[in-house]
Chains A and B, each alone.
Chain A
């Protein structure tokens, strides 16, 4: 095979002289990426400490370390938040990282989901006889990827953040080494995740070709200053990126993986996937579509996002009703929640973004709490997840049944819980944009999905034993070994309960924060 190689570039010796080419090293403000740094360093330090200490550390140590690291990351956002509120948003690291209220808020949400999932994981690992700090290490590193993704100001950084987030979660999903279904979930999640990343990447490449930049601020200014005569390339890029994000946030029709993966993965990991990974995915979606392409290309992408939202709402709530496995049911209900959040994206307004952020915060508490209860009911083997296994829970564990009831009612949107306000704000935001049909669909599906939550509640409180005739007065006996509640899991449920109720009763502070958490794309500091 003979290939004509174009003439090679001559290497001029003086070009290699360091003094001849002054390197314009950008100013690096480490404090601006402090939350992500705290998570990364915390994860790697945990790995180092555990490898250096000779005897195995107690299992509470890993969980405490993880919770402390995530809390420190939340604390690190506070001074940055002040700085953004005082001085406005800025972009750091040669313009590849955006420091704004939006990224800081999503950072907080991701860290909350890490705290809740780590607390659930502690008892879970002991119950399942699994060892290893690697679960916590991967969770912390994955969260750092989510934080990077939420604050990305450049498509390269966004993609790398997404990969850091996803690759760690592929491993986490497959990590229950003795449950084959966990490994199946890991493989399914991996194949579809890598597939969707490739779609996203193809879209990014086309967008780069059409606009000449991977920098979000660069793309925004380019589109504001130029009118593309032929925008086929950019539209194809947008479509492929939407497919990629659609897979990540499990929006219909890109949701096929979610029920299988949520069901098969270790339940605390399902909680993290449903809360943290979804928050990061939506952060990327909001940043790219609403903030970057919102001003110029809203008319083009808005119908696509609205279609995804409607499909997710309808399919998610209808499919959830016919499930008999509670984990699958929660997976489908999380798809319908994704539909609600997509409505906030489709509104493409500041109110819509604030509503989506508020929804993400509330949803994190609700879904982590729900999966927390499911973790406990699953008992040893993590396999008791059918609706039958919830019969008579109100007699065996009245407190747990009550807490689960609150989470389920919150998910269905009952007033005095955060779930109601979250749905209310999202619907308000799309009504403001005049999208009444979408609002109607949202309210209709909220009613449909209320049935499914009631089904679980009825099973816990009222349903007779399996096989008994309807209307039997005799409450069901709770089957199987007793449910044990480890202290850490109890703490997680308590935190989630407080979060869910507090956001519903005193939403003021949170709504103020979400209102200030606007995304801005800036060039330079």
Chain B
């Protein structure tokens, strides 16, 4: 019991430390590395509960593939941009986040601690983990018997992910249309198959050529539209 407790505390601390790092660090690369720490901590917790196969999957798929994907995108976007990501968000957002986080934590804790016995202790309705067969065998067997349909439709999900990622990554030809230009002249110009950058001079053409100005300028049209 003492060893289990020690393992749990250590892995739990790594998990929570990593999680806090993900939400608090300012540098995006540090966030991704903190995520790795959390994922390893979770993998250790899996091992502590004899879910060896899942621990391996956790490390290989999550830490090995998904985090690499994150890092890849971060590098593609440019690491030096990372510093501005930590600036204070819009007014009230941080407070709202804290309130939501604490409220959800409180709710969960009340639910978890409301009784002396957390789970009902009922017998398993699926095959119990029998300790003399490796869990890989058991999971494999379950995947091809009880959960065979779920296993098969996962293929559809992965197909969608592949098709979707390829389609979105494909470069488009033709001008990019910014919604701000949908007033009067710009639209008529568009309908006449002319270049779409004949709108008001204070609106940027949003073809992405000038970083910064596209996102931050305050547009008079936006203020009018903000009548919600």
Give me the interface of A with B, judged by CB distance under 8 Å.
Answer: 1, 3-6, 8-9, 11-12, 15-16, 21, 23-26, 28, 33, 40, 44, 47, 93-97, 129, 132, 134, 137-138, 141-142, 144-145, 148, 154, 156-157, 160-161, 163-164, 167-168, 170-171, 174-175, 177-181, 206, 209-213, 215, 218, 222, 226, 228-230, 232-233, 235-236, 239, 259, 264, 319, 322-325, 379-381, 383-384, 480-481
Q: Within 8 Å CB of B174, what residues of A?
A: 129, 178
Query: Which residues of chain B are near A23, meaning CB under 8 Å?
Result: 141, 144-145
Within the complex, what minimum Cβ distance (angstroms) separates B118 from chain A? Answer: 7
Shortest C-beta distance, A21 to chain B (Å), equals 7
In Å, the complex CA distance between A226 and B6 comes to: 36
The chain B residue sitting closest to A12, CB to CB, is B132
Instruction: Report the minimal beta-carbon distance from A474 to chain B, rounded to whole angstroms.
Output: 21
B52 → A minimal CB distance (Å): 7
Q: Which of B113, B122, B175, B181 has the most chain A CB within a 10 Å cutoff?
A: B122
Q: Is the CB of A177 within 8 A of B172?
A: yes
How distant is the Cα of A33 from the Cα of B149 in the complex, in angstroms?
10
Q: Does B91 contact A (CB under 8 A)?
A: no
**Quick check: is B148 within 8 A (CB to CB) of the other chain?**
yes
Query: How distant is the Cα of A4 from the Cα of B119 in the complex, in angstroms?
Result: 27
Knowing that A141-B163, A167-B164, A180-B206 are A-B contacts, what are 12 other residue pairs whose CB atoms are under 8 Å apart, sorted by A's residue number? A26-B145, A94-B149, A160-B153, A170-B164, A175-B168, A177-B172, A178-B175, A179-B177, A180-B178, A213-B126, A218-B125, A230-B116
9 nearest A-B pairs in the assembled complex, by CB-CB distance: A230-B115, A236-B111, A177-B172, A171-B164, A383-B182, A232-B114, A93-B149, A181-B179, A232-B111
B176 to chain A, nearest CB (A): 5
Query: Does B120 contact A212, Cβ atoms closer than 8 Å?
Result: yes
Would you list which residues of chain B between 173 and 192 have a CB under 8 Å from chain A?
Answer: 174-179, 181-182, 187-188, 190-191
Cβ-closest chain A residue relative to B116: A230
- Chain A residue contacts of B131, Cβ below 8 A: 9
Q: Closest B-chain residue to A186, C-beta based?
A: B168
Contact partners of B156 in chain A: CB under 8 A: 40, 141, 144-145, 164
When the two chains form their complex, are residues B52 and A8 in contact, meaning their CB atoms are under 8 A apart? yes
Cβ of B139 under 8 Å from chain A: no
* Contact between A209 and B119, CB atoms less than 8 A apart: yes
Q: Which of B107, B134, B147 contacts A96 (CB 8 A)?
A: B147
Q: Which of A94, A210, A228, A232 is close to B110, meaning CB atoms less than 8 Å apart?
A: A232
Q: Is B137 an interface residue (CB 8 A)?
A: yes
Q: Which of A8, A132, A226, A232 contacts B167 (CB 8 A)?
A: A132
- Whether B99 sits at the interface, judged by CB under 8 Å, is no
A residues less than 8 Å from B135 (CB atoms): 9
Question: A96 near B119 (CB under 8 angstroms)?
Answer: no
> What's the least CB distance linking B23 to chain A, in Å?
14
Interface of B is mostly: helix
Interface string of B144-164 (1 = CB under 8 A from A): 111111100110110111011
Check A481/B188 contact, CB under 8 A, given A26-B148, A138-B164, A179-B179.
yes
Q: Name 28 A/B residue pairs within 8 A (Cβ), A-sorted.
A: A4-B6, A6-B47, A28-B148, A44-B159, A94-B148, A94-B149, A138-B160, A138-B163, A142-B160, A145-B153, A156-B147, A160-B154, A164-B156, A167-B157, A167-B160, A179-B177, A212-B120, A212-B122, A213-B125, A213-B126, A229-B117, A229-B120, A230-B116, A233-B118, A236-B110, A319-B228, A480-B187, A480-B191
Residues of A within 8 A of B11 (CB): 3
Interface centre among B6, B133, B163 (most CB of A within 10 A): B163
* Chain A neighbourhood of B108, CB < 8 A: 236
Asked if B19 is at the interface of the complex by the 8 Å CB criterion, the answer is no
Tell whether B10 is near chain A: CB-to-CB under 8 Å.
yes
Cβ–Cβ contact B120 & A226, under 8 A: yes
Q: How distant is B41 from chain A, measured CB to nearest CB, in Å?
A: 10
A138-B160, A164-B153, A379-B191 known; A3-B7 Cβ under 8 A = yes
Give residues of chain B (35-58) contacting chain A, Cβ–Cβ below 8 Å: 44, 47-48, 50, 52
Residues of B within 8 A of A28 (CB): 148
Cβ–Cβ < 8 Å partners of A142 in chain B: 160
B206-228 interface (Cβ within 8 A of A) = 206, 225, 227-228
> Are A5 and B47 in touch, CB under 8 angstroms?
yes
Complex: A11 Cα to B53 Cα, angstroms: 14
Q: Is the CB of B111 within 8 A of A157?
A: no
Tell me, rounded to whole Å, the shortest Cβ–Cβ distance linking B163 to chain A. Answer: 6
Residue of B nearest to A158 (CB): B150
Is B89 an interface position by the 8 A CB rule?
no
Bound-state CA distance A209–B176 (Å) is 49
* Minimum distance in angstroms from B2 CB to a CB of chain A: 10
- Are the CB atoms of A4 and B7 closer together than 8 Å? yes
Residues of B within 8 A of A163 (CB): 157
Complex Cα spacing A46 to B47, Å: 44
Instruction: Let me know if A229 and B145 touch, CB within 8 A.
Output: no
Residue of A24, A132, A148, A212 ringed by the most chain B CB atoms within 10 A: A212
On chain A, the residues within 8 Å of B163 by CB distance are 47, 134, 137-138, 141, 171
The answer to whether B146 and A94 touch across the interface, beta carbons within 8 angstroms, is yes
| Chain B min CB distance to A425 (Å) | 33
Q: How far is the CA of A96 from the CA of B118 in the complex (A)?
A: 27
Expressed in whole angstroms, the minimum distance between the Cβ of A203 and any Cβ of chain B is: 11
> Which of A94, A137, A259: most chain B Cβ within 10 A?
A94
Chain B residues positioned under 8 Å from A229 (CB to CB): 115, 117, 120
Q: Which of B116, B134, B147 contacts A11 (CB 8 A)?
A: B134
Contacts of A379 in B (CB 8 A): 187, 191
Flag whether B76 is at the interface (Cβ < 8 A): no
Q: Are A4 and B3 in contact (CB under 8 A)?
A: yes
Name which residue of chain A comes closest to B2, CB basis.
A4
**Which residues of the partner chain A approach B164 to less than 8 Å between Cβ atoms?**
138, 167-168, 170-171
Bound together, the chains give a CA A406 to CA B218 distance in angstroms of 40
**A384 interface neighbour in B125, B160, B176, B182, Cβ under 8 Å:** B182
From A26, A145, A228, give the contact of B120 (CB < 8 A). A228
- Please judge, given known A-B contacts A21-B141, A141-B156, A212-B122, whether A174 and B115 are in contact too, CB under 8 Å: no
